[in-house]
Amino acid sequence: MATQDDVFKKIVSHAKEYGFVFQSSEIYDGLSAVYDYGQNGVELKNNIKRYWWDAMTLLHENIVGIDSAIFMHPTIWKASGHVDAFNDPLIDNRDSKKRYRADVLIEDHLAKIDEKIDKEVAKARKRFGDSFDEAVFRSTNARVLEYTAKRDAIHERFANALNENNLEELRQIILDCEIVCPISGTRNWTDVRQFNLMFKTEMGSTADGAMTVYLRPETAQGIFVNYLNVQKTGRMRIPFGIAQIGKAFRNEIVARQFIFRMREFEQMEMQFFVRPGSELEWFNKWKEARLRWHKALGLGDEKYRYHDHDKLAHYANAATDIEFEMPFGFKEVEGIHSRTNFDLSQHEKFSGKKIQYFDPELGESYTPYVIETSIGVDRMFLTVLCSSYEEQKLDGGDTRVVLHLPAALAPVKCAVMPLVRKDGLPEKAREIVNELKFDFSTHYDEKDSIGKRYRRQDAIGTPFCITVDHQTLEDNTVTLRHRDSMEQKRVSVDDLHRLIHDEVSINSLLRKLS
Ligand code: ATP
């Protein structure tokens, strides 16, 4: 049986073979942890962004969007705390010369203990059948109790070390847990050091005094520094939100999981400004709303979970991640943070400008509190890709690779195919394309056998194939083939637009949310 690792490798090569994702600068042997999106990838990515943008700005009359510049005044990153504290703890293995994030090594170790516990539970469930009571088993089984105690003890030390920024203790935990380097298999570890993740560059020529500027490591600060502009010009009343989609850059220490961890990536962030004291209520609302957005895609409800943070960032008073089950385990796709009034207060302090809101209902001014929802476009892309990929065994021993992409996100919505390349069928097929292309991304394909053409479309996740045959010329009907069921129906050309629209419009996804 294929392991999850094999499956992931196949997904990565499928993404390349079918024009979704390419290694950046490939003909120069690539640039590590930087990727380019190909002809199908860019469409899928744009559709993900559209779904998020519309869910934020169309469905909420109190959320508006902006597009701020990547370069910003360097003092912004002083004020936000990124210059001093946007660090990851890194550790090297002296034998393999490989570098790791110390916190990730420990988290992976904890996840392995959790897996052992889950295995014991699964074994017992099999043994006891219907009479199995998981809660009782977890609280009484000696082996499970032993694993749980061990896990909790490490977890507590780990959380304390992170909160206290105690790098020696992080190293000690790695040694005490006997964590080995996956490459060399040894425990020959260096000290743990802090590493700042921001990229620096220079603006202006050196002659007139160049200024060090940073490539933004998050899009959020562009929203905070425009808070006053938007609030005033849009006459926004609290509570209200500002949404933004854009590139962010982080000099990640370890970047080995394809587009999961990149050095250049894209974020979709929304900052929601609320009255002080109401932030935890809004935090819970957004936590639920964001999970609903994910689940509406139908990728599998059981693949999501919340993960509350052990270490709250210096600015946060509540934080959770939405995790998705990737082939390499449950991983963060989105973060939801209650950021208090930290950012706006800091910008007030560093800029000297008053950043306050006069609340007409309360008759007083205050610095708004903020709930942030922050999701990586690329991680979302990976989520969709991984959960859609299937190698399907067909009756008769054949297999097909199919991407069960949510129809609204699919790069191509329909492909029109003349059965043969003569008798006026190509002309009729072109006529249909020319009608549909105004509303849907439509392919025309006449090469190879019809079976091969169907496979090509399945592999990029096209929800519908439309085949034009001799009967079409007589009665204006075509066969409409559905990607997932492979079912073919004879339908009138006049009905095509409606039938396709019903399934592929982002509209139908958005309706599930409101
Ligand atoms: P991680 O713990 O995985 O490094 P993070 O907690 O630092 O992530 P945030 O700063 O909360 O991430 O960023 C919000 C979102 O941006 C993440 O949930 C993720 O989807 C995305 N993201 C962050 N870093 C990267 C990266 N290097 N590559 C791709 N996406 C990223």
Residue reference for tokens 């930087």:
34
pLDDT digits (tens, 9 = 90+) for 123-153: 999 998 888 899 999 999 999 999 999 999 9
Q: Please report the pLDDT score of residue 492 as a whole number.
A: 97
User: What would the mean pLDDT of 461-474 be, rounded to a whole number?
Assistant: 97
Give residue 1's pLDDT: 54
Residue 112 is given by DSSP the state H
- Per-residue pLDDT of 316-372, as tens digits, reads 889 999 999 999 899 999 999 999 999 999 999 999 999 999 999 999 999 999 999
Over the stretch 392-420, which tens digit does the pLDDT of each residue have?
A: 998 888 899 999 999 999 999 999 999 99
| Cα–Cα–Cα angle for 298, 304, 310, rounded to 5 degrees | 155
Residue whose CA is at the smallest distance from ligand 1 atom 16: 376
Distance, C-alpha 455 to centroid of its chain: 27
Residue 514: pLDDT band by 50, 70, 90 thresholds?
confident
Residue nearest to atom 11 of ligand 1 (CA): 335
The gap from C-alpha 335 to its chain's centroid, in whole angstroms, comes to: 10
DSSP string for 79-100: HTTHHHH-EEEEEEBTTT--EE
Closest CA to 309 of 299, 300, 298, 317: 317
- DSSP letters for 349-366: HHH-----EEETTTTEEE
Mutual orientation of helices 4-17 and 377-388 as an angle, nearest 10°? 110
Question: Which helix (H) or strand (E) segment is 454 a member of?
Answer: helix 450-460
Query: Cβ(252) to ligand 1 under 6 A?
Result: yes
Strands 414-418 and 464-468: parallel
CA neighbours within 13 Å on the CB side: how many for 145?
Answer: 6
Give residue 2's pLDDT.
64
CA–CA gap between residue 469 and residue 423 (Å, rounded):
9
Instruction: Give the C-alpha separation, 196 to 280, whole Å.
Output: 30
Buried b / exposed e over 286-304, threshold 16 CB at 10 Å, is bbebbbebbebbebeeebb
User: Of the candidates 381, 392, 380, which has an alpha carbon nearest to the alpha carbon of residue 458?
Assistant: 392
Taking the CA atoms of residue 252, residue 255, residue 257 and residue 260 in that order, the dihedral angle to the nearest 10 degrees is 20
What would the two tokens of residue 487 be?
Answer: 């079912």
Calculate how far, in angstroms, residue 255's C-alpha sits from the geometric centre of ligand 1: 12
On average, the pLDDT of the chain sits at 94
Which residue type sits at 384?
Answer: V
pLDDT band (50, 70, 90) for residue 112: very high
| Whether the predicted pLDDT of 11 surpasses 80 | yes
| Probe residue for ligand 1, chosen from 265, 336, 372 as the CB with the greatest number of ligand atoms within 8 Å | 265
High-pLDDT (> 70) share of the chain, %: 98
Confidence check: pLDDT of 312 > 80: no
Nearest to 224 by CA among 358, 365, 72: 72
pLDDT of residue 206: 67
254-274 pLDDT, tens per residue?
A: 777 899 999 999 999 999 999
Q: Which long-range contacts (CB under 8 A, 24 or more apart) does 58-64 make?
A: 58/510, 59/510, 59/513, 59/514, 60/241, 62/236, 62/237, 62/239, 62/240, 62/241, 63/240, 63/241, 63/242, 63/243, 63/270, 63/272, 64/230, 64/234, 64/236, 64/240, 64/241, 64/242, 64/243
Q: Whose CA is nearest to atom 19 of ligand 1?
A: 376
- For the CA of 269, the closest atom of ligand 1 is 14
- Alpha carbon of 217 to ligand 1 centroid (Å): 10
Cβ of 216 below 6 Å from ligand 1: no
CA of 489 to the centre of ligand 1 (A): 44
**Nearest C-alpha to atom 25 of ligand 1 is from which residue?**
261
Region 379-386 average pLDDT: 97
Task: With beta carbons less than 8 A apart as the criterion, state whether 456 and 443 touch.
Answer: no
Q: Structure tokens of 127?
A: 């043994």
Which amino acid is residue 186, in one-letter code? Answer: T
Coil vs helix vs strand at 439: coil
**Between the CA of residue 187 and those of 151, 168, 177, 254, 464, what are the distances in Å?**
20, 15, 10, 18, 54
The reported pLDDT for the residue numbered 208 is 67
Q: Which residues contact 255 (CB under 8 A, 6 or more apart)?
A: 32, 33, 261, 262, 263
Spatial CA neighbour of 257 closest among 508, 496, 33? 33
pTM: 0.89
Q: From the alpha carbon of 321, which atom of ligand 1 is closest?
A: 18
pLDDT mean over 25-52: 97
Identify the pLDDT of residue 488: 96
The side-by-side arrangement of strands in the sheet containing 264-274 is 63-66, 240-249, 264-274, 369-376, 329-338, 318-326, 304-308
What pLDDT does residue 131 have?
A: 87
As a whole number, mean pLDDT of residues 14-19 equals 97
- Calpha distance 505→502 (Å, rounded): 6
- Residue closest by Cα to atom 13 of ligand 1: 374
